[in-house]
Structure 1
Amino acid sequence: MKSQLYEWKEALKNITFKKCAITLLGSFILAFGLYHVHSISGVTEGGVLGATLLLEHWTGISPALTGGIMNVLCYVLGWRLLGKEFIAYSALATVGFSGTYKICEQFPHLWPGLADMPLVAALVGALFVGVGAGLCVRVGGAPSGDDALAMSISHATGWKIQWVYLMSDLIVLVMSLSYIPVRRIGYSLFTVLLSGQLIGFVQNFNRTQETGADCVTEN
């Protein structure tokens, strides 16, 4: 018990204000985009969200239950592979996302016309998801189970995270063809392709220079 407490104290010492601020910013961007774009566009998602919708269609089990179970399993996997700092930043990202989404719900959608422009919605939605989730992943946190799963697989295999996102999303989207029209899946495929690439770009942008600067500072 004492060793566990010591490990948590050591992990929390590495939590920085800058990374917390980036985590919150990323979760704000993600929640804002999901509410104002994805929630009205009719463009589905891959990963955990798409899987819960698929299970609901074929089994009648609510996403409130299946989503919770899958997210918890993904976070447990992330904790085992990525450590306690991951849990701390992920918890902050989750709170930031939920709080921002709740605030957004108090106001009307900014761009209701996107419901009739699925291609534009797919593009704009991918930008919000890619930048928002990318910022959280960059500092080592995961705002959702999808991100935790992708980070864990990337860490364990060494694969680039954007390709892990693509693989998991494609599996869900192909299975979703069992109840979603091909055209709608096409828009969904476009948005997950773009958002996954953006997450990888944001995660790695200027990483070499930052690492070098940190080393100089430490020396």
Structure 2
Amino acid sequence: MKKTLSYLEIILGLVLTAAAFGFIIVPQSFSAGGVTGLSILVHRIVPISLSLILLFFNIIIFILGWIFVGKEFIFKTLMSSFLFPFILDFFSHFNYLQELQKDPLLSAILAGLLLGCGSGLVLRGNGSSGGFDVIGVILHKYFHTPVSLPMYILDTTVILLQGNDLMHLLYGITVIFLSSYIINKVLSFGKAHSKIMIFSHQSRKIRKMLLTEFDTGLTILKGESGYYEEDMDIIVTITSYDKISNIKKAVYTIDPFAFVVIEDVHAVLGKGYTISREKDPS
């Protein structure tokens, strides 16, 4: 079931990405990033076929993905690279957004949304359409950087080096910036976590409630209240967004005077999150 869902995410992502290029980016002549944009730059300097340059860069990226990410990822990337041109060609025969093209800024915003959702879904399905997103996946795997960060930096660099007129350059950067933001949101959807700190004199009851009712790990810190100078246990737990509301209700049912702090976390690593709880730490 999970494999089927991942392939559906990739196909839907390719459709949205192709729509962004076919309906907006290509007709509006916005500056393009990615490996395609890089190949265009090299083609201006080296008298070699553009398709050969593009093939050369894709082969290098595929090899890097094969070595550092895995065979399944590369298989899905090859599948995406094969399907994408056909989907893009299909959309190129239609012009449903002709009126929208009269407003370049609105077009850039919509293109960024479509491209971000599309690329995010492809990456969420453990695939890639080929290009700089493979670099993003590799860096995320080994250095835990956001997948979209290296994509945004590389795409923006390529766009700036293309030397197009200022307006098309700015619209291109708008597309890249917005799509990078949306990619992070799509990748974290349903996977985001928050840190909850609970200051209470009923810490034993709250601790038992969290462990039994919500099956969430926690840490007990020793603290002291600043005003009353009383010793107290501070409970720290990391949980998913969907549990926050119920945890708050349960905490205040036990202790109406509890002090609770909730904040977003960007990454959670370790047992129960990236490592199975059943695994022996040794």
TM, length-normalised to structure 2? 0.63
CA distance in 2, matches of 1:69, 1:158: 28
Q: 2:6 pairs with 1, 7, 19, which one?
A: 19
Contact 1:134 1:202 in 2 (8 A): yes
Q: 1:37 pairs with 24, 47, 50, which one?
A: 24
Matched with 1:112 is 98
Question: What secondary structure does 1:135 align onto?
Answer: helix
Matched with 1:196 is 180
Question: What secondary structure does 1:41 align onto?
Answer: coil
Per-residue deviation, 1:26: 0.9
Q: Does 1:187 align with 2:174?
A: no
Task: Output aligned runs, 1:1-219, within 5 Å.
Answer: 16-105=3-92, 107-177=93-163, 180-208=164-192
CA distance in 2, matches of 1:134, 1:196: 9
Q: 1:174 to 1:39 in 2, by over 3 A?
A: closer
Query: Could you list the per-position Cα deviations for residues 175-214 of structure 1 after superposition, in whole angstroms to 9, with x for gaps in the alignment?
Result: 223xx122221111111011111112111111255997xx
Unmatched 5+ residue regions in structure 2? 193-239, 243-271, 277-282
CA distance in 2, matches of 1:148, 1:195: 16
Q: 1:58 to 1:121 in 2, by over 3 A?
A: farther
Larger radius of gyration: 2
CA distance in 2, matches of 1:71, 1:153: 17
CA distance in 2, matches of 1:150, 1:99: 25
Q: 1:51 to 1:21 in 2, by over 3 A?
A: same
Matched with 1:11 is none
Higher strand share: 2
Matched with 2:258 is none
Higher helix share: 1
Query: Could you list the per-position Cα deviations for residues 53-80 of structure 1 after superposition, in whole angstroms to 9, with x for gaps in the alignment?
Result: 2223343444312112112211211111
CA distance in 1, matches of 2:35, 2:76: 20
Which structure is richer in relative contact order (CA contacts within 8 A, separation 6 or more)? 1
Worse overlay, 32-41 or 49-58:
49-58
Per-residue deviation, 1:42: 1.0
Q: 1:204 to 1:63 in 2, by over 3 A?
A: farther
CA distance in 1, matches of 2:96, 2:107: 12
TM, length-normalised to structure 1? 0.80
CA distance in 2, matches of 1:172, 1:157: 23
Contact 2:5 2:125 in 1 (8 A): no
Question: What secondary structure does 2:111 align onto?
Answer: helix
Q: 1:47 to 1:102 in 2, by over 3 A?
A: closer
Per-residue deviation, 1:91: 2.5
CA distance in 2, matches of 1:113, 1:49: 27
Query: Could you list the per-position Cα deviations for residues 1-57 of structure 1 after superposition, in whole angstroms to 9, with x for gaps in the alignment?
Result: xxxxxxxxxxxxx97111111111111111122111111011112221221222233
Contact 1:154 1:164 in 2 (8 A): no
CA distance in 2, matches of 1:156, 1:27: 26
Contact 1:119 1:187 in 2 (8 A): yes
Contact 2:136 2:150 in 1 (8 A): yes
Unmatched 5+ residue regions in structure 1? 1-13
